[in-house]
Chain A
Amino acid sequence: MPLLEVKNLTVRIETLKGSLSAVDNISFSLTEGEVLGIVGESGCGKSMASYALLDLLPPFSSLEAQQLSFLNRDLLHASHREKRNLRGKDITMIFQDPMTSLNPSFTIGFQLRESIMRAEHNKKKGWRKRAIELLKHVGISEAHERLDSYPHELSGGMCQRIMIAMAIATRPQLLIADEPTTALDVTIQAQILKLLQSLQKEFGMAMILISHNIGLLAHMANRVMVMYAGQIMEMGKTEDIILRPEHPYTQALLAALPENYSNTKHRTELPSIPGLVPDLAHRPTGCQFHPRCKEKFDRCEKELPELKEHNKRKIACHLYDPPSTKLT
C-alpha cells in the first residue's frame, strides 16, 4: 500500500499574464520508508509540488488533481481541520534557508517545545528532557545551553540541525526536505545529509528530497524523479537513472556535474545546458525541453511526449516512443 499517492496533480498560478501551470499533470507515489529524490533546475515546480501536498500554496494559486491521498486519507476533500492535524505531525518539512526558518524572537527551546507539545497532545511536562534528547539526536553538543540560545547566536549548520530536530519531534511518516543543504557550506552539507540519512533509516520514515544537485540524490534516494517546466521527464530507480540516464535532459544534468567533469583530461569550460528554463507564460510547443535539447527532431516541436514505461523506468521522450502506432 502506498503511503502517498498523487495522480494528475496540476498547480495553477493566476498572474497578470494568465493562468500558469507551475506543476503540470504529474503523478507519483511513495511507499513507506522510501526516499524519493526530485531534481530539476530552478523554477521547475519541484518545490511547488511539495507545497501542494502540505497545502502551503501561495495566494492566487489553485490545485487540481485526480487523486491526492496520504495514508489512505483523501487530502483533496479533507476539511481544513483534518489537513491541519496532518501537516506538521505526519508530514513535516525542512526548508532551504535555515537562518530564516527559525523565529528570531524566541529561543530554540521555546520553538522546540511547540513541536514536542504537538506530538504529545499538548503535554507540558517533560518537554525539556525530550528537547535535549532531540538535540543530542541531531548531533548538537551542549544541548542544555543551546535551548536558551536565540537563532542569531547559532551557525547555519546548527540552525538546520535544529530544524531537523523540530521536524522529527513528531515522528512523522513523511519528511519533505526542500533543498536542505543549499544554503550551507560544503563540509556542513555532507554532515547534514549524513544525519538525514541516518534518521531516515532509524525512524523508517519516507522522505522527499528536493535538490538541483543530481549527484547528491545518487547517494540518498531510492528513486529519482527528474522534473522540467512542471512536468516529469524521467522517473525510476536511482541506479537506472543515474548510471544509465536515457532522457537527454537527465544526461545533460549529469554531464553538468563538476565531479564528472574533473575526470576528463582536457579542462576547458564546465559543460552546461544552453538556454534557460522556459517562461511558463510562453511555453514552447511540443516537448518542453526541445529548444535546449541536443537530440531534437521534427516531432519534438509538434507533439508533447507522453510519460511511458521504457526500460525499467518512466520516460517522456520521443526518442524512446516510436510513432509506429500513429502511422496509419
Chain B
Amino acid sequence: MNDTTETSSLKEFSLQFIHHKGALLGFIIIAFFMLVALCANLLAPYASDTIFQNAFRLPPFSEYTHNYFILGTDDVGRDLLSRLIYGSRISLGIGFFTVVLSLSIGGILGLAAGYFGGSIDSLIMRINDIIMALPSVLFAIVIISVLGPSLANTIIAVSVAELPHFMRLMRAQVMAEKNKNYVIISRTMGASHLRQMFTTILPNCLAPIIVQSALGFSDAILCAAALGFLGLGAEPPIPEWGTMLSDARPFIESSPILVTLPGLCIFITVLAFNIFGDGLRDTFDPKLKR
C-alpha cells in the first residue's frame, strides 16, 4: 500500500547514488567481491587447501602435472587463485559479522545512553572511553591473547574494538532526536520507554548509522587482516588474506606475487567500502546535495 511513495523515494535515492561516480565504482567492486565470495566453490579451480606436491611457488600461468595454475602456487603448493577466491569469503564474512555484532551491541548501548542520560549515560560512555583510549588493533590483540587465536575470536575482538564508533554515533543521534516534539507526543500518548526507544526514535537515527556500517566494514577487514598478519587471526589452513600475506613474507624477494596479490585484494576491498561509504553519506546528507 505504500508502493507509490516508497518506490519514488527509493528511485530518487538510487538516481542520486548513480550520479555519484565514486560511490557507484565502490558499489560495483563490492558487488563483484560479494559475487565471488558467494560463488567461490563454482569459480575456484581447486579447493583452498589442496596441496600439489612439489609444485612450490610456481609462477603465474604455469602448468604442472596436467594442472594449470593461473596465478601460480604458494610456498606449500596450493593454488593461489583458489585461495584468494575463498579468502574473499573469509574477509567479507569477518566484515559482515563484525558489523552486525558491533552495530547491534553498540547501537543498543548508544541508544540507552542517549535516551536515559544521567548515570546510565555516564557508565556506558566511560566504558566507551576506555575502549577508545587504546588503539583498536592493540585492543584486539589483548582480546585475542585472552581468548586464543581463531576466526570466531577475531570477529569478537574486532567487534569490540569497533564498538565505540557505533555507540558514540547512536548516542549523538538519539540525543538530537529525543527532545523533538514527536517524541514528547508519543510520551503523552503513554508510550513505554522501550517503545519510545525502538519504535519512535530509532528509525529516525538510522541514516548515519548505515553510512558508519559501510565504513565499519572496511575497518573490520583491515583490522582482521592486521591480526592475521601478526599471526593472531585465522589459523593457517584458512585462506585469510592477512594470514596469506604473513605466510608469504619470507618469499617477498623470490616470488613477490605471493605477497602482492593478497595485499592488493585487501587494498581494493577496503578502498571500495570507503568510497562506497562516502558516497552513501553524500546521498543521505541533504546539506551536501548539489
Hey, which bits of chain A sit against chain B, CB under 8 A?
Answer: 54, 56, 59, 84-85, 87-89, 92-93, 95-97, 100-107, 114-115, 118, 148-150, 153, 163, 166
Contact = CB atoms under 8 A, between A and B. Distances in A.
Contact of A85 (B2, B180, B181, B190): B190
Interface in B96-130: 117-118
A97 B190 contact: no
Given A59-B117, A102-B182, A106-B203, A92 B188 contact: yes
A76 to B, nearest CB: 19
Contacts of A87: 188-190
B8 to A, nearest CB: 10
Given A88-B190, A118-B190, A103 B200 contact: yes
A55 B199 CA distance: 21
Contacts of B118: 59
A56 B203 contact: no
A97 B181 contact: yes
A235 to B, nearest CB: 26
Contact of A114 (B181, B189, B204): B189
A100 B180 contact: yes
18 contacts: A56-B187, A56-B188, A59-B118, A84-B190, A87-B189, A87-B190, A88-B189, A93-B185, A95-B184, A100-B181, A100-B182, A101-B181, A103-B182, A103-B204, A104-B204, A148-B1, A150-B5, A166-B185
B14 interface: no
B67 interface: no
Contact of A148 (B4, B184, B186, B187): B4
A105 B204 CA distance: 6
Q: Which 4 A-B pairs have the closest CB atoms?
A: A88-B189, A105-B203, A101-B181, A84-B190
Describe B's contact surface by its main secondary structure: helix
A74 B138 CA distance: 59
A238 B132 CA distance: 62
B189 A148 contact: no
A123 to B, nearest CB: 16
Interface string B164-207: 00000000000000001110111111100000000010011000
A148 B181 contact: no
Interface in B1-24: 1-2, 4-5
Q: Interface range on chain B: under 10, 10 to 19, 20 to 34, or 35 or more?
A: 10 to 19
Interface of B: 1-2, 4-5, 117-118, 180-182, 184-190, 200, 203-204
Contact of B188 (A88, A103, A104): A88
Most buried by A among B1, B187, B189, B190: B189
A327 B204 CA distance: 64
Contacts of B117: 59
Contacts of B187: 56
Contacts of B2: 107, 148
Contacts of B189: 87-88, 92, 114-115, 118
A301 to B, nearest CB: 38
A103 B186 contact: yes
A163 B203 CA distance: 20
Contacts of A84: 190
Given A88-B189, A150-B5, 5 more contacts: A87-B188, A88-B190, A100-B180, A104-B204, A148-B4
Given A103-B200, A105-B203, A107-B2, A54 B188 contact: yes
A54 B203 CA distance: 26
A94 B85 CA distance: 59
Contacts of A150: 5
A166 B185 CA distance: 10
Contact of B5 (A104, A149, A166): A149
Contacts of A148: 1-2, 4-5
Nearest to A99: B181
A89 B190 contact: yes
Most buried by B among A56, A101, A105, A163: A105
B4 A93 contact: no
A106 B195 CA distance: 14
Given A107-B2, A148-B1, A101 B182 contact: yes
A84 B195 CA distance: 14
Contacts of B204: 103-105
Contacts of A97: 181
A166 B180 CA distance: 17
A59 B5 CA distance: 38
A101 B189 CA distance: 13
A149 B184 CA distance: 22
A135 to B, nearest CB: 16
A96 B187 CA distance: 16
B188 A153 contact: no
B275 to A, nearest CB: 28
